[in-house]
Amino acid sequence: MIKVASYNIRKGVGTDRIRSPDRILHVLHEIDADIIALQEADRRFGRRAAILPPHHLADHSPWKAVPFGNEQSSGWHGNVLLVRKEAEILDCEAIHLPTLEPRGAVMADLRVNGIAVRVVGMHLDLSGLMRRRQAESILAHLDSAARRLPTVMMGDLNEWTRRSGCLKDFAERFTIAATGPSFHARRPVGRLDRIMASPELRIADCGVHHSPASRTASDHLPIWARVEPS
């Protein structure tokens, strides 16, 4: 069994407009997932420095960031994958997405709790047409991989509809976890954040993480799921 989670941390800025990486880390400890996909995890301008830099994770958490070759950021266009320090990183790469603004996705092959799994973290566009093009690009990238693995995809899809748009494209090949609404954190009505699993995996449980800290740390609530080989 592997517990995964996805969390748009809004560059560490909470609903009280205070930037607090420590508060984000506190929420991550509450969730206690094996694999975490973060979105908006670096600053937007300048060096795009990581909100949770590697030394901070090393000293204050059980996780490490999957390296994607960026010295300042922990990920790619704000997308970061965190895994437990004892997990084995088999491979990783950034995925370039068609876009009118800086967007991307990240992919890693991991061995966690004795299970080999491929994980994709993403933050899709605000435009519905562009989201569908990005979904097509991610699925094509998976198809082009030389090795096939059970796959979990998760992130902020920016999709307000329940079954159409890019969700329709993903649902043809992946099971979408019924986690519930995660946006806005103070009064969640939108299911913008999603976790999806390939047919080789079963979603045993899932939900939205509600706590006093999570309702303040970002404008999104974290979502989570437990997956196991089917």
Over residues 70-128, the pLDDT tens digits come to 655 667 889 999 999 999 999 999 999 988 777 889 999 999 999 999 999 999 999 99
Mean model confidence pLDDT for the chain: 93
Burial class (CB in 10 A: 0-12, 13-18, 19+), 44: exposed
Q: What is the mean pLDDT of residues 7-23?
A: 95
Q: What is the pLDDT of residue 73?
A: 67
Q: What is the pLDDT of residue 48?
A: 64
pTM of the model: 0.95
Q: What is the pLDDT of residue 42?
A: 84
Domain of residue 108 covers: 2-229
How far is the C-alpha of 177 from the C-alpha of 191, rounded, in Å? 11
Least-confidence region, from 57-61, 71-75, 86-90, 183-187? 71-75
46, pLDDT greater than 60: no
Tokens of 140: 């094509």
209, pLDDT greater than 70: yes
45, pLDDT greater than 60: no
Q: What is the pLDDT of residue 212?
A: 97
How far is the C-alpha of 196 from the C-alpha of 165, rounded, in Å? 15
User: Based on the structure, what is the number of domains in the chain?
Assistant: 1
Q: What is the pLDDT of residue 71?
A: 58
Q: What is the CATH number of the domain that holds 15?
A: 3.60.10.10
Closest among 10, 5, 3, 35 to 24, alpha carbons compared: 10
